[in-house]
């Protein structure tokens, strides 16, 4: 169908999309939006967003299709683990630290101060200041 996700992929990249995707991807009315900050989960290539407005209960929404011209296939937002298109254009949040608490412990370990006249001289002064307060 002209103006469908599959048609745009054919026209733009000369590819025929494979894989399974929702029926709305075969409907007309889509337009190319640009690349997004996410990579194709299958091949790591650039993903292009295609969008199509639709109305529901008096409000206008947009369907989003993410096309990987390399695979070639199309994904939905939920295929990429997000609910909204905005989440694809935001910076990817840092993943939780994969290391255990051991890393934190190492970070707070201090290198012991080198014993010397400077260190010894400053100690009594520091203690006196604390008492004054
Ligand atoms: Zn791909």
Using one digit for the tens of pLDDT, what is the confidence trace for 79-122? 999 999 988 876 555 666 555 555 444 455 566 666 666 555 55
Give the domain range for residue 50: 5-89
Cβ-proximal residues to 55 (8 Å cutoff; 6+ apart), any chain: 61
Say if 124 falls within a structural domain. no
45 within 8 A of 18, measured Cβ to Cβ? no
Tally the domains of the chain. Answer: 1
| 113 assigned to some structural domain | no
Instruction: Indicate whether 34 belongs to any domain.
Output: yes
How far apart CA 17 and CA 7 sit, in angstroms, is 9
The Å distance, Cα 125 to ligand 1 centre, comes to 66
CA of 79 to the centre of ligand 1 (A): 13
CA of 29 to the centre of ligand 1 (A): 24
pTM for the complete prediction?
0.66
| pLDDT band (50, 70, 90) for residue 1 | confident
| Structural domain contains residue 11 | yes
From the CA of 2, how far away is ligand 1's center (Å)? 23
Question: How far is the centre of ligand 1, averaged over its atoms, from the C-alpha of 68 (Å)?
Answer: 5
């Amino acid at each position: 169908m002209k103006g469908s996700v599959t048609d745009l992929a054919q026209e733009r990249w000369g590819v025929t999309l494979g894989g399974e995707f929702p029926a709305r991807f075969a409907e007309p009315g889509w337009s190319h939006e640009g690349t997004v900050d996410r990579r194709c989960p299958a091949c790591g290539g650039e993903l292009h967003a295609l969008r199509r407005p639709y109305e529901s209960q008096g409000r206008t929404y947009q369907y989003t299709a993410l096309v990987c011209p390399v695979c070639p296939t199309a994904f939905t937002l939920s295929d990429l683990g997000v609910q909204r298109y905005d989440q694809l254009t935001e910076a990817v949040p840092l993943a939780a630290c994969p290391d255990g608490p051991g890393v934190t412990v190492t970070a707070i370990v201090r290198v012991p101060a080198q014993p010397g006249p400077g260190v010894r001289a400053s100690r009594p002064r520091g203690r006196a200041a604390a008492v004054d307060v």
